Structure 1
């Protein structure tokens, strides 16, 4: 026995998620020969109105499927089933209508895609130009980098030469330090010798002072002799023999004194 039903599918998202092709395909697999569906707004919600006609058992099986299965991305809130007394068109004709509708919907999308592709091509052209500019800049950077590397190599060579000269300078300074140490040792020896010479000079000066003191005494004694001779000349009346004896005695004393002076000086 044939039966016609109307299903009102409501939910947060049931339009534009492929719900009607989903219902049509599965209606054909359930041997539903007549079917029509359209999108609507019911009670402030998105809705899909489905009308189907077929054998009782096929309709019952199809209703159970619709209640339990949804297309991907659909958000279903409720499904209302009721009898329908109106005309229901052929399912295959509806498939053609749905195909044309989908093609009609696809045309703006295709145009939009084409426009977006044109925009993408323009952007790609701009990107290519920028890439060319970037490549040019990178080449300049590479050349600058090469020049910098060459300068760095030259700097490294100069630094190596400076290090070699520093090594030579350090070697010379080591030799100078050794020579300076030897000079200091010689200076120490010279100072030691000068200390000894100073000590000997001090001793000589002391001896010279002693000699001068003795000579002062000799001078005093000589002055006394001269005074005595002067007295002899004045005292001509005295006995020459006595004076002679006395003079000899004084001369002997002088000789003794001189001998003593020589001995002390030696």
Structure 2
């Protein structure tokens, strides 16, 4: 008896389905699987009872990672590969996959070694940068300490300057008062000088008039007029 099983679902390939089914096909004469689209096709041949039992196993069991929606059972009258022959073929396929994975792993390991070497260089560079940053931070701390000292000194100088300015304002206020007094006295002195000049001018005018009269009298007496 021959039967065709169509296993459908989101994930029925590359999840260990063929190995699982092969391990359950010991009592079958023929067994063969193939991937068609997203489906897994299983062809079996054997005694009717064994074929039915295997079909029930397929409907009941699945690999842990498989996602099966349905198992369709159809009649089949074509050729079916022997179980032993299929086992050898599957072994060769698995061996080829292992070799391919090994080559890929070898390339990945080589790439990883390159990445690790590059990472070591980056880490070494980072260590240098961190060391340099530590030096810069230490220098900055020293600068900040000096700045704090300078600011403290500046605050002291500003306080002293404020005191000096306050004293200067007091002195200026006193000077302004003195200047005001001096200006007042100066005005009084100028007024006195002006009055003195006026008195002197009047006195000199009287003296000149008297001298002119006396000179005119003398000239008259000596007959010059």
TM-score with structure 1 length normalisation?
Answer: 0.59
Unaligned runs of 5+ in 1: 235-266
* Residues 30 and 80, structure 2, Cα contact 8 Å, conserved in 1: no
Q: In 1, distance between residues paired with 2:176 and 2:170?
A: 10
Which residue of structure 2 lines up, in the alignment, with residue 215 of structure 1? Answer: 203
Q: In 2, distance between residues paired with 1:223 and 1:59?
A: 175
Which residue of structure 2 lines up, in the alignment, with residue 195 of structure 1? Answer: 183
Three-state SS of the structure 1 residue aligned to 2:5 is strand
Which residue of structure 1 lines up, in the alignment, with residue 73 of structure 2? Answer: 79
Matched, 1:108 2:96: yes
Query: Cα offset for 1:25?
Result: 5.5
* Aligned CA distance change for structure 1 residues 223 and 34 (closer, same or farther; 3 Å): closer
TM-score with structure 2 length normalisation?
Answer: 0.68
1:173-227 CA distance string (max 9 Å, x none): 2133123312321221122112211221133124313422552465267548857
Q: In 2, distance between residues paired with 1:122 and 1:211?
A: 124
Query: Cα offset for 1:152?
Result: 0.9
Which residue of structure 1 lines up, in the alignment, with residue 3 of structure 2? Answer: 7
Equivalent residues in 2 for 1:34-49, closer than 5 Å = 34-39=28-33, 47-49=41-43
Q: In 1, distance between residues paired with 2:100 and 2:117?
A: 25
Equivalent residues in 2 for 1:231-250, closer than 5 Å = none
The worse-fitting range, judged by mean Cα deviation, of 65-74 and 179-188 is 65-74
Three-state SS of the structure 2 residue aligned to 1:167 is helix
Aligned length: 214
User: Is the radius of gyration larger for structure 1 or structure 2?
Assistant: 1
* Aligned CA distance change for structure 1 residues 179 and 88 (closer, same or farther; 3 Å): closer
* Residues 11 and 46, structure 1, Cα contact 8 Å, conserved in 2: yes
Which residue of structure 2 lines up, in the alignment, with residue 52 of structure 1? Answer: 46
Q: In 2, distance between residues paired with 1:206 and 1:178?
A: 41
Three-state SS of the structure 2 residue aligned to 1:7 is strand
1:52-96 CA distance string (max 9 Å, x none): 3144xx7656656656877625676853226x7x9998xxxx4x6
Unaligned runs of 5+ in 2: none
Matched, 1:136 2:124: yes
Matched, 1:126 2:87: no
Matched, 1:184 2:184: no
Of residues 124, 131, 142 in structure 2, which corresponds to 1:154?
Answer: 142
Which residue of structure 2 lines up, in the alignment, with residue 256 of structure 1? Answer: none
* Residues 6 and 50, structure 1, Cα contact 8 Å, conserved in 2: yes
Aligned CA-pair RMSD: 4.3
Q: In 1, distance between residues paired with 2:218 and 2:175?
A: 62
